[in-house]
């Protein structure tokens, strides 16, 4: 009994959580005409009129009603106009509803805006960032976790305190700095400042610390150098945390908006989020195209999420406990 109440409430709230996504999907396959007519419900259903004569259905557009008659344009099944201003009896006109999916919206959004280019840019930037973050992160975390050296804790806490600084704070001076370096509107501006992630260092350090000392002793006796130990011993034992760090890095990079908005300008290196944002200003009245573009831009992450949901949720949850 109590369980069923839980399920009912969870279902209703879950529905409210996904409604925007469902509506996005259904609107993305509607024709703009239907949306403008006020047909904004969930089902991509279209209303249209048919003129029936001699057992054949003709698609029509009604022009003007004249008493019991109506002037219409007649179309054949390929929607070529075959008669104009035909006067017929109103009773021969039937209104119908039809389930219609306009996948061409996706194609149209792609021809209006070079989303393919933006998509490739975003992939390139995100993968570069993840790659860089894992390398710098693994090296630094290895030193912080395993090695003893002067100033280790000081440097580590300096890093951590840098992590607390929110992006809006260093956005303006970073712009000044990158402008000075001549990096504005380049890939470097999107990649290089992000290839060290303090959270990743923190995450990997926690993991590396759990590896027993005996294993390091054994590696040393076998004549393994530091780098070799990292590569052959530490990293293979840390696969799941590395995956977590990679997922975090990828999601963060894919979704980042304010930074690329400020640091880039030309369409050639524009990323998806910024491109989408410009598109939403240009095509603000073209609801269904906007929805198609939005759907397309969140699809990669939703797919990633579906395949790795356990891991993703667990990593977000652990970010809270260590907070």
Residues in region 226-245 near other proteins by CB under 8 A = 226
Tokens of 296: 């397309």
Contact status, residue 134 vs residue 86, Cβ threshold 8 Å: no
Q: How far is the CB of 225 from other proteins (least distance, A)?
A: 10
136 forms part of the interface with other proteins (CB under 8 A): yes
* Rounded Cα–Cα distance for residues 192 and 7 (Å): 47
Taking phi over 0 as left and psi of -120 to 50 as alpha, with beta for the rest, 38 belongs to: left
Query: In terms of CB distance, is 22 or 65 closer to other proteins?
Result: 22
Which residue shows structure tokens 């806490």? 157
73 binds other proteins (CB under 8 A): no
| Binding residue count for other proteins, defined by CB under 8 A | 89
Q: Tell which one of 103, 231, 257, 307 touches other proteins (CB under 8 A).
A: 257
Q: Does 273 bind other proteins (CB under 8 A)?
A: yes
Among 14, 64, 97, 100, binds other proteins (CB under 8 A): 14
Q: Identify the residue among 84, 91, 167, 210 touching other proteins (CB under 8 A).
A: 167
- The answer to whether 104 and 292 are in contact (CB under 8 A) is no
Query: Which of 71, 131, 187, 305 is in the footprint of other proteins by CB under 8 A?
Result: 305
| Degrees, nearest 5: CA angle 59-62-68 | 115
Residue 253 interacts with other proteins (CB under 8 A): yes or no? no
Contact string (CB under 8 A) for other proteins, positions 98-127, x = contact: ------------------------------
Window 178 to 237, contacts with other proteins (CB under 8 A): 192-193, 195-196, 198, 201, 226
Phi, psi of 182 (to 5 degrees): 75, 25
Min separation Cβ 257 and other proteins, Å: 5
Min CB(132)–other proteins separation in Å: 8
How many angstroms separate the first and last alpha carbons of the chain?
Answer: 37
The answer to whether 277 and 261 are in contact (CB under 8 A) is yes
Q: Could you say whether residue 139 binds other proteins (CB under 8 A)?
A: yes
Structure tokens at 118: 């933006």
- What SS3 class is residue 96? strand
């Amino acid at each position: 009994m109590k369980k069923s109440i839980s399920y009912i409430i969870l279902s209703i709230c879950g529905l409210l959580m996904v409604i925007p996504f469902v509506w996005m999907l259904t609107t993305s396959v509607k024709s703009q005409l239907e949306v403008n007519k006020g047909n904004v419900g969930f089902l991509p259903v279209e209303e249209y009129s048919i003129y029936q004569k001699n057992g054949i259905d003709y698609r029509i557009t009604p022009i003007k009603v004249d008493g019991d008659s109506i002037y219409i344009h007649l179309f054949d099944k390929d929607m070529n106009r075959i008669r104009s201003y035909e006067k017929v009896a109103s009773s021969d006109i039937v209104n119908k509803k039809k389930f219609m999916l306009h996948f061409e919206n996706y194609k149209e959004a792609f021809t209006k805006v070079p989303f393919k280019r933006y998509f490739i840019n975003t992939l390139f930037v995100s993968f570069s960032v993840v790659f860089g973050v894992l390398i710098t992160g693994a090296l630094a975390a290895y030193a912080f976790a395993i090695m003893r050296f002067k100033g280790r804790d000081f440097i580590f806490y300096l890093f951590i305190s840098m992590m607390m600084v929110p992006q809006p704070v260093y956005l303006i001076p970073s712009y000044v700095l990158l402008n000075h370096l001549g990096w504005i509107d380049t890939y470097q501006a999107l990649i290089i400042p992000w290839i060290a992630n303090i959270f990743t260092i923190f995450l990997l350090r926690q993991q590396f610390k759990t590896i027993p000392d005996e294993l390091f002793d054994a590696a040393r006796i076998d004549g393994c150098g530091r780098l070799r130990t990292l590569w052959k011993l530490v990293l293979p034992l840390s696969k799941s945390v590395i995956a977590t760090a990679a997922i975090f890095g990828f999601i963060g990079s894919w979704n980042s908006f304010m930074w690329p908005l400020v640091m880039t300008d030309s369409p050639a290196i524009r990323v998806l989020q910024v491109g989408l944002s410009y598109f939403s200003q240009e095509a603000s009245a073209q609801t269904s195209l906007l929805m198609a573009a939005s759907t397309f831009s969140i699809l990669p992450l939703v797919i990633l999420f579906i395949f790795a949901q356990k891991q993703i949720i667990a990593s977000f949850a652990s970010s809270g406990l260590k907070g």
